[in-house]
Amino acid sequence: MKIENLKLKIPILVGLATFFFGFGAGAILNIYLITIKSPLVLNFRSSLNFISSIVGDGIILPIVNMLIVTFIIKNLSLISKINVVLGVAFGLLITLYFYITQAVQGLVNWSMPTPWHWNFLGVWHFFYMLSVTSLISFYVLLLVKKIKKEKTFPSSAFFIIGGITLFLILLKLDYSNIDLLR
């Protein structure tokens, strides 16, 4: 009974952690900086200026991560040390790709006010993004193993892949000079 309880609680905790670290903490800081009229939010786009932050980090990724963790819990037998190492390695490569692209293209915001100079918010987001991309990468590796082993495509994968795709579309739109919030 306790194991089953834990299997229900872990995905919820992952969803709440994803919400807090990806959106909640930044939104609270964003609101505080607005109230004190900080140049950081007056001169740069902040988390509440990005639809990918509000909808993506605030809703989509917490749900996706809950589905991923539920899948992992149901497929513990597929986990190997190499999957964990590769998941983190791919997560790091994806995170570095986005950070380097942001700096090279000069996509400044409140976490990188000048190209190649990230502040505390940029470091916070780096570790958040690293954990999310590592979890997603780990999931994809396990999904491939499951598909090869069972010759079926889990229905939850449609929702997970769809959620990730929707998040990436919102992210692309945010950085395509389209203000979705106006």
DSSP string, 75-142: TGGG--HHHHHHHHHHHHHHHHHHHHHHHHTT--BTTBSBTTB--HHHHHHHHHHHHHHHHHHHHHHH
Domain-wise residue ranges, the chain: 2-174
Read off the pLDDT of residues 46-74 as tens digits, 9 standing for 90 and up: 999 999 999 999 999 999 999 999 999 99
Q: Is residue 1's pLDDT more than 90? A: no
Question: Which is nearest to 33 in space by CA: 99, 109, 106?
Answer: 109
Q: Considering the entire predicted model, what is its pTM?
A: 0.91
How far, in Å, are 110, 117, 126 from residue 120 at the CA level? 10, 10, 10
